[in-house]
Amino acid sequence: MLSADKTAKIIDGKAIAAQIRAEAARDAAAIAAKRGFPPGLAVVLVGEDPASVSYVTAKERACAECGIRSFPVRLPASASQDAVLAEVARLRADAAVDGILVQLPLPRQIDERRVVEAISPDKDVDGFHPVSVGNLALGLPGFAPCTPAGIIELLLRSGCDPTGKHAVVVGRSNIVGKPVAIMLSRKGRGGNATVTLCHTGTPDLGRFTRDADVLVVAAGRPGTVGEGMVKEGAVVIDVGVNRIADPSKKRGYRLVGDVDFAAVSRVASAITPVPGGVGPMTIAMLMANTVRAAAVHGPSAARP
């Protein structure tokens, strides 16, 4: 039992992500030795949105650290849909490219759905293709999206196996909420939880969050889970990344999650911080997915 003054263990996403990148580096080296060339990841950025530029730079830096060859593709914000589709087709046919990542969001003139569907499922290391989503839902082999996969790894590697627990997910996005609910409920490693999926249509959110043994909050709104909404001893995963104006910071803002960290860490047994929790896991899992794609492709990653 936790005493009143006990604070939650902080789940160190930075350290766990570093561990996963080290494993990816080890496996990438083995693949390179076996087939004569390293795993390859194409990173497509259309336009110069500052947040996207920084994500893409971080992904390419992680590739270098893991011994994955990155293939940077940069297109202007004015690029046509055909130009983007032509790049994806070229990367799909390139045997040195095991994974293709198109950074989202795309400029308005481009139909995101069509671009994601142009990536062959065997190179879909982001796990956003409808075939990947279908495979995940059906329990078939395929790529799971990186943030949900990172959440499951965080839980397992910090000793919080979801098996037999009541997992409550807040948020039903295609990128996080929906897939993590599927992963927590499926049979097998990192799953076997009883899952409740809450969203903006859920009246009295606290009624559900208070019953969670594992609480995953991916609502995209600061303060979604606060005082009195968490059961003593629960494990809390905060997926939120929200910018709050803060004139005392050089860049003029600070990052906060969706959970009131100070209040909730007084009752939870473990909690992820923002930043340094889920965030670093997304890129680490992208590296892991790319290495897996390369292992499946073997000497040829070319697909028609």
Residues at the interface with ligand GUN (CB under 6 A): 101-104, 126, 146, 282
The answer to whether the beta carbons of residues 174 and 115 sit under 8 Å apart is no
Please report where in the chains the tokens 């899992």 appear, as a residue: 285
- CB nearer to ligand GUN: give 101 or 151: 101
Angle between helices 146-157 and 279-297 (to 10 degrees): 110
- CB nearer to ligand GUN: give 42 or 155: 42
- Among 27, 98, 124, 126, the active-site one is 126
The answer to whether the beta carbons of residues 183 and 285 sit under 8 Å apart is no
- CB nearer to ligand GUN: give 14 or 231: 14
Contacts of 242 (CB under 8 A, 6+ apart): 220, 221, 222, 255, 256, 257, 258
Dihedral Cα 168, 171, 173, 176, nearest 10 deg: -50
Least Å from the CB of residue 245 to ligand GUN:
22
- Among 12, 59, 122, 165, the active-site one is 59
Least Å from the CB of residue 153 to ligand GUN:
15
Number of residue whose CB is nearest ligand GUN: 104
Least Å from the CB of residue 47 to ligand GUN:
13
How far apart are the C-alpha atoms of 84 and 75, rounded to whole Å?
Answer: 8
Write phi, then psi, for 177 (nearest 5 degrees): -55, -55
- CB nearer to ligand GUN: give 102 or 239: 102
Tell me if residue 103 is catalytic.
yes
Tell me if residue 258 is catalytic.
no
- Among 12, 27, 103, 238, the active-site one is 103
Tell me if residue 59 is catalytic.
yes
Residues noted as catalytic: 59, 103, 126
